[in-house]
Amino acid sequence: MNWIALTNNQQLEAIKANVENEYIAIFKHSTRCGISRMVLKNFEREFDIPESEITMYFLDLLKFREISNNIAGDFDVLHQSPQLLLLKNGKVIFTASHGDISVESLKFQLGK
C-alpha cells in the first residue's frame, strides 16, 4: 500500500478543498502506542483497495501534532489514536478508532 505522508498544513488545506468526488482517507497513528501499531499492521496487511479508488494519507501524531489538532478543529471530530477518517468532497463521512478500524469497514463505506 502506498501511503502519502501528511506533513504540513498545505496538504490538509488541499484535502479540505478537494471537491472532485474522490475518496480520501487519513490514518492517524501514534508511534509510541502498541495498540496503534497493531491496528496499523492489521490494516496494512488486509488493505486491497485499488489506488484509483482512494487516496491514503498517513499522519504521525507525535511528529505532526499540530496537523492532528487542525484536523479535529477543521472537521469537528474528536481526536483519537489510532483513528481513520474517510473524506469525500472535503468533508468527513466516516471515522473509526482503535479496534473499529478495518479495511472491511472502509470498503463498506466505499460501497464495496
pLDDT at position 104 over 90: yes
When pLDDT is averaged across residues 73-102 and rounded to a whole number, the result is 95
CATH number at residue 63: 3.40.30.10
Residue 37 CB-density burial (10 A; 0-12 exposed, 13-18 middle, 19+ buried): middle
CB atoms within 10 A of CB 50: 6
Mean pLDDT of the chain, nearest integer: 95
The domain tally of the chain equals 1
Query: Of all residues in the chain, what percent carry a pLDDT higher than 90?
Result: 92
Q: What is the pLDDT of residue 1?
A: 84
Average pLDDT over residues 52-79: 95
Q: How confident is the model at residue 87 (pLDDT cuts 50, 70, 90)?
A: very high
